Structure formats: C-alpha cells, structure tokens
C-alpha cells in the first residue's frame, strides 16, 4: 500500500510540474492527490508497520501492535493536526492577499510609479531591482512581481527591452522574499512551523539574499541591452484616489506589524494578520464612505465606480482562491507521506549517504550532523525544476533540527532563490511569464545564467555569515 501511495504522489507531482503542457490547473492534481493518498492510508491502515508522530517528530512506538480502533483514532488525530497547521498558513495568506487587494482598490501601487524620474536604463534597472527586493519582503514576491511588471508595462514601450527588466525582477523578487518571514510562502511555512524566527532569518539571510540580487544586476549593467537611455512612453495620467498613498503605507505597515505582534504576544502569525486586516479594512471602509459626500461634487464619477461594493467585499472577490486550494492539496498530500514515516526514513538515508559528497553544515553543538551543504544546494536546483512549496513541506517532515538551526535558514534561502534559475521554478516567474508572454527558452538562454551566479554567490555568502551566529 505504501508503494501505491508513493505512486499516486509521484503521478500527481508530475501533473503539477507539467501544468502548462497538460493545460490543467495545478490545484486539480494537488487536491485529487491529497484525497487519494489519505483514502489509501485509511483503507490500508492495518498493513502499515510505522506511524510518524509530527508533534514529537519521531515514530510511534509499537504502532504495529495497536488495535484497529486505536490506529483509526491516531490517524484522525494526525489528520486534524496537519489540517490545523495547514489552516494557519492558509488563513495567514488570505489576510495578506486581502490587504494587498485593498491597497490596489485605492490605486495605492500607482504611487510607486512616481519614483521613476530617470530615463537611464541602468538606473531604472537598479530602481526596479531595489523596489522588487524590498517590496517582496513586505507583500511577498508574487505580488511584488505583478505590481512592478504592471508599472513597467506603463512606462516601457519596447517589449524586447521590457522582458529583460521582467526577468531580472524575478531574480530580485525571489531574493527579497527569502530573507523575510512574510516574503515567500516557503519562508512563511518555516516561520509558522516554528523553524525560524524573524530576527535570525533576517540576520542569516539578508546579506546572502542581497548578493543573490545585486551580483546578477551588476553583471546586467554591462550588457548591451541596458546601455543608453530608455524611451519612456508618455501616458495620460488617470485620476488617482486621494487616499492612494495613505492606503499604500497603511497596508504595508500593517503587514510589517505582523512579525512584531508575534514577537510581543507569542501568538500564531495568523492572529496578527487578522488584526492588521481588520485595521486596514476599517480605514478602507471609512475612506470609501467619504467618497459619497454630497459636498464634493467632483468625486461623483469615482463614487459611482465604488458604489456597488465595499472595499473589503471587492478585495475578497479578487483573492486567488486557486492558489489557496493548491497549497491545501499539496501540503496535506505531503503530510500523508510524513505520517507514514516515509519522509523520516528518507532523511535518515540522505544523512547517511550524502556527507561524502559535500561539506557538512557547521554545527556548533553537533546536532543533526550529516546533512551536507550540497544537499541544500541541490534543494535550490530542485526548486527551479519543481515547485518549492512541496520541497519545503517535505523538509519539515524530514529534518528534526531545533528552531533557528542554520539548516532551516539554508532551506529558506535555497528554496526561495533557487527557483529563479528557470522561469517555471517560482510563482513570480510563472506570473511574469503569463503577463509578458516570456518564452521558456529565451529565459533559459538570457536570464538563467545570471540567476545561477546569484544563487551560488548567495549560497557561498550564507556559508560565511552562518559562522557569525
């Protein structure tokens, strides 16, 4: 039965990886894979020799001798445990997505366009690089990519030049998301899973992530495509909401407040995110209501546009529920493999077989000795080929190192930045591919080598900075 479950997982995983070839949204195989895996576990519960206790991160002693009722009760408890941990991530993401949509409702991101004051290609390159690096750490790398490419489309006329900027924005956004607990789904998973803390994550990864962004950008400044000045397309300024800047800074500040709230209260991050969402929603409703003032006749058109929806209702209707359901499916599917002890056993074999292939991680207390740097680098390469979410989910089940152990920070860096090496290797790359119709092989030829250099430089920098903690 274990072989059947692994086969279902592999087939589902391939369907997710080949999403663009099969023309099937990846949430469908993720949900089907999750349901079938757990159904097979339930049907074959009597035949399994091992069961993994996620709370204690070890195999349950004497599981094979348990009565059928005990096994079923243990399975139900395990399923509920994993659903609770997954729900923490999903509720957190729902809150963050809603705040971002509320900012967009008030045209808050149009404020960023005002920062572009130059026509020099290299200056614009670095401006968008820094914006992507900082924004992705606050509103996540996927949203930052969407926002910045949308702005690019308004100011850069030549698509052949614009896709170069878009390719480098992918690198910067993924690098920026790696050093923040709210910058990437994978770092959020590690943060909520109590594997990394905000302070240590930034301390370990800020410099490696910055170099992962800066080195490719520095090389790119010498490429012919970024020589000279850019022809800025003059577009007619549309009327912005008078609250656009206020809602941008309020929304970003509310998201940044979440890690602070967690450190002060020690409550799960989704509680702070719900508080932030509530505060932003209150201001959004107040500002939206003020649009209907009879004394301000000039705002009549703007009022009409917002008359049928409150900002919160409108924002909730635009949330990417397919992404939420995909995360539910893939995380619960990986949990099924973890529950059978498959990931735990694989980690043991990995620790035994890989040390001779790479330098071992630096362990002050000799905890977890045996995991090589090469394994972590291969994780980064793997995240470029397949989705980084299940890779990190599998890592959570494989390794038992304590919170803020350097292994978890290396996992965060590799999974977050390694995906830049292929355009299909990250959510930021996939959305850029869709928005600009970037060809896979064009990216492979023009951008992948830059991303690979940045990833390797960042990895080397991590191996140096980790000795400081």
Tell me whether residue 249 is in a domain.
Answer: yes
Report which secondary-structure segment, H or E, holds 59: strand 58-59
Please tell me the predicted confidence (pLDDT) of residue 359. 42
Residue 354 has, within 13 A of its CA and on its CB side, a CA count of 20
Tell me whether residue 277 is in a domain.
Answer: yes
Tell me whether residue 42 is in a domain.
Answer: no
Please tell me the predicted confidence (pLDDT) of residue 337. 81
Tell me whether residue 390 is in a domain.
Answer: no
Residue by residue, DSSP assigns 63-128 as: GGGS-HHHHHHHHHHHHHHHHHHHHHHHHHHHHHHHHHHHHHHTTTTHHHHTT----BHHHHHHHH
- Which residues have CB under 8 Å from 297's CB, separation 6+? none
Tell me whether residue 425 is in a domain.
Answer: no
Tell me whether residue 436 is in a domain.
Answer: no
What pTM was computed for the model? Answer: 0.72
Please tell me the predicted confidence (pLDDT) of residue 149. 84
Please tell me the predicted confidence (pLDDT) of residue 47. 82
Please tell me the total count of domains within the chain.
Answer: 1
Mean pLDDT (10-residue bins), the chain, 469 residues? 86 78 82 91 84 72 81 87 85 85 82 73 88 87 82 79 90 91 85 86 90 93 83 57 82 86 85 91 82 44 51 82 82 82 66 47 41 77 75 76 85 88 80 78 89 92 80
Q: Which domain holds residue 156?
A: 90-321
User: Dihedral of the CA atoms 238, 242, 246, 247 (nearest 10)?
Assistant: -60
Q: Encoding tokens for residue 66?
A: 């348990």
Please tell me the predicted confidence (pLDDT) of residue 21. 76
- Which residues have CB under 8 Å from 319's CB, separation 6+? 94, 97, 98, 101
C-alpha span between 115 and 128 (Å, rounded): 10
C-alpha span between 66 and 73 (Å, rounded): 11
Please tell me the predicted confidence (pLDDT) of residue 215. 94
Tell me whether residue 166 is in a domain.
Answer: yes
C-alpha span between 417 and 458 (Å, rounded): 9
Tell me whether residue 1 is in a domain.
Answer: no
CB atoms < 10 A from the CB of 266, how many?
A: 7
């Amino acid at each position: 039965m274990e072989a059947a479950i692994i086969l279902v997982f592999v087939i589902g995983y391939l369907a997710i990886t080949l999403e663009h070839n099969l023309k099937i949204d990846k949430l469908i195989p993720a949900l089907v894979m999750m349901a079938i895996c757990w159904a097979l576990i339930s049907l074959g519960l009597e035949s399994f020799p091992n069961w993994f206790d996620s709370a204690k991160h070890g195999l349950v002693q004497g599981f094979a001798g348990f009565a059928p009722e005990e096994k079923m009760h243990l399975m139900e408890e395990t399923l509920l445990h994993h659903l609770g941990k997954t729900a923490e991530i999903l509720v957190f993401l729902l809150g963050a997505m809603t705040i971002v949509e509320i900012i967009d409702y008030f045209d808050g991101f149009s404020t960023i366009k005002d920062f572009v004051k130059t026509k020099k290609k290299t200056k614009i390159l670095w401006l968008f690089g820094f914006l992507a690096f900082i924004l992705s750490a606050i509103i996540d790398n996927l949203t930052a990519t969407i926002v910045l490419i949308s702005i690019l489309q308004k100011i850069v006329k030549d698509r052949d030049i614009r896709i170069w900027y878009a390719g480098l924005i992918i690198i910067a956004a993924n690098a920026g998301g790696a050093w923040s607990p709210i910058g990437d789904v994978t770092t959020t998973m590690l943060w909520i899973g109590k594997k990394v803390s905000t302070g240590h994550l930034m301390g370990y990864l800020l410099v490696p992530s910055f170099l992962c962004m800066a080195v490719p950008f520095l090389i790119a400044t010498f490429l012919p495509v970024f020589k000279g000045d850019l022809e800025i397309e003059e577009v007619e300024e549309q009327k912005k909401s008078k609250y656009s800047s206020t809602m941008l800074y309020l929304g970003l500040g509310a998201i940044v407040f979440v890690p602070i709230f967690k450190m002060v209260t020690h409550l799960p991050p989704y509680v702070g995110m719900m508080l932030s969402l509530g505060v932003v929603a209150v201001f959004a409703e107040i500002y939206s209501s003020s649009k209907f003032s009879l004394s301000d006749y000039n705002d009549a058109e703007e009022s009409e546009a917002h008359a049928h929806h409150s900002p919160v209702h409108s924002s909730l209707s635009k949330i990417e529920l397919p992404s939420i359901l995909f995360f539910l499916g893939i995380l619960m599917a990986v949990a099924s493999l973890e529950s059978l002890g498959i990931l735990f056993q694989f980690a043991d074999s990995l620790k035994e077989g890989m040390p001779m292939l790479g330098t071992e991680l630096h362990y002050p207390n000799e905890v977890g000795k045996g995991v090589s740097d090469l394994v972590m680098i291969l994780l980064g390469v793997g995240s470029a080929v397949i989705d980084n979410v299940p890779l990190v989910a599998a890592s959570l089940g494989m390794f038992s190192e304590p919170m803020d152990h350097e292994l978890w920070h290396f996992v965060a860096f590799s999974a977050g930045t390694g995906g830049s090496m292929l355009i299909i290797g990250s959510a930021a790359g996939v959305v850029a591919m869709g928005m600009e119709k970037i060809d896979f092989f064009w990216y492979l030829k023009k951008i992948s080598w830059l991303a690979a250099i940045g990833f390797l430089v960042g990895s080397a920098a991590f191996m140096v900075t980790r000795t400081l903690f």
